[in-house]
Amino acid sequence: MNCHPTVAFHTLGCKLNYTETGAIAKEFEKAGYNKVSFDGSADVYVINTCSVTENADKECKTMINRAMKKNPDAFIAVIGCYAQLKPEKIAGFDGVDMVVGASSKFSFIQEIKLKKNDKAVIMSCDIESVEKFIAAHSDETRTRAFLKIQDGCDYNCSYCTIPLARGKSRSNSISNILKEIDELALRGVKEVVLTGVNIGDFYYYENEKKISFTDLLHELEKSDGIERFRISSIEPNLVSDEIIRFVAQSKKFMPHFHIPLQSGSDRILNRMRRRYRSGLYASKVEKIKSLIPYAAIGGDVITGFAGETEEDFQQTYNFIEKLGMSYLHVFTYSERDHTHALLLDGVVPYRVRKERTAKLRALSEKLNRQFREKNQGRKLKVLFENSNHNGLMEGYSENYIRISAPYDENKVNSIIEIEYEPEMAELS
């Protein structure tokens, strides 16, 4: 008989959330829990929520119901960004035993009981008081790991709830990051993706000296054990020429930049309270292209933001098309409580927002196809992952092209050089 309690996790939202779920799962394992699938019966279910997801409410309720169906007596904890923003609301959902805000996200395990509460307990906090950095890295695969180096954000983009859910910007120290890197290398991880909310804003003081993101990059370049690093999303105003030059000559940092654009219209960027205008964005992309011609350059775009006219949208479309980016992540704007954007006029009808999203997604496909064609015949180095999809395995090239090849156990978790043909790829 297995006397260890079981715990199951479900994560909504971004890579940072997945990374943190990994760290929380480790705490449960240390406390003697066995981790099981969310699709099976567990004693405890943990749902890590997101405040950016369009249907945060609905998704959260769906997962609670799914857990209740599997085990009506299970203890259900709802944690994460949405739990920080709407604790009372979530506490009112049927089946919830605990709602955990930002400050207790990594310590609530001590409060869990292996029976249902009569009433949901709320462990919330004033987000202004959250200052501690808690380290985390993902633990699902051997091949690639996401490593949290920074949390929170001091920016105030008018549509965004993340600063309200995650608090002020704070960073891990380089010495701690190097320790985590060693741990991941020992596990056999080959590629580490640096993750955070606003990673370009990584900084802290050591003996009164400011340690910056570029200092971290230089230290990682010198480190042993991990063969590849990737910078995840970085704000345009923080992609310095120094960073671009560094990646251009680096042996370890992959030629891949993900730079949120959000809009190609300066009028809309102003309303969004973004800290750059389209000219600066274009200059960064041009600089990358001139120094690293085959770099992948992706970005996020929001369609239908308050006040976005047809002309603003067309400007965005033309801007992206002309820049020739490699791919886009397109999000349809949806209003969020407690944001400044709610006060703005010019609400765009939902149907129009969706049409604009569809147009930009089609543009993204076209740009991605062109990017893959540009790489035709080139030698690319692919890190193959350990999953067998109908006899095929997949991996990413240095410049983020998703490539498939016949499954070969000996090539799993290895970096293999191939001559690239676009039919080997899927949309990344």
Site of interaction with ligand SF4 (CB under 6 A): 153, 155-157, 160, 162-163, 197-198, 235
Q: Which is nearer to ligand SF4, 144 or 166 (CB)?
A: 166
Q: Which is nearer to ligand SF4, 120 or 197 (CB)?
A: 197
- Residue 48 CB, nearest approach to ligand SF4 (Å): 17
- Residue 272 CB, nearest approach to ligand SF4 (Å): 8
- Residue 330 CB, nearest approach to ligand SF4 (Å): 15
Residues in CB range of 392: below 8 A, 6 or more apart: 404, 405, 406, 407
DSSP 318: H
Taking the C-alpha atoms of residue 333 and residue 301, their distance in angstroms, rounded to an integer, is: 9
Q: Which is nearer to ligand SF4, 153 or 382 (CB)?
A: 153
> What is the pairing mode between strands 203-206 and 150-151?
unpaired
For residue 138, give both structure tokens: 């993902």
- Residue 356 CB, nearest approach to ligand SF4 (Å): 19
Q: Which is nearer to ligand SF4, 106 or 155 (CB)?
A: 155
User: Mind giving me the DSSP string for 236-279?
Assistant: GGG--HHHHHHHHH-SSB-SEEE---B-S-HHHHHHTT-S--HH
Residues in CB range of 16: below 8 A, 6 or more apart: 146, 148, 151, 195, 196, 197
- Residue 164 CB, nearest approach to ligand SF4 (Å): 9
The count of other CB atoms within 10 Å of the CB of residue 27 is: 15
Q: Which is nearer to ligand SF4, 163 or 167 (CB)?
A: 163
Taking the C-alpha atoms of residue 41 and residue 427, their distance in angstroms, rounded to an integer, is: 35
Q: Which is nearer to ligand SF4, 219 or 266 (CB)?
A: 266
Taking the C-alpha atoms of residue 79 and residue 98, their distance in angstroms, rounded to an integer, is: 8
- Residue 133 CB, nearest approach to ligand SF4 (Å): 16
Q: Which residue in the block uniquely carries the two structure tokens 């274009």?
A: 282
What distance lies between CA 65 and its chain's CA centroid? 26
- Residue 236 CB, nearest approach to ligand SF4 (Å): 10
Q: Which is nearer to ligand SF4, 289 or 340 (CB)?
A: 340
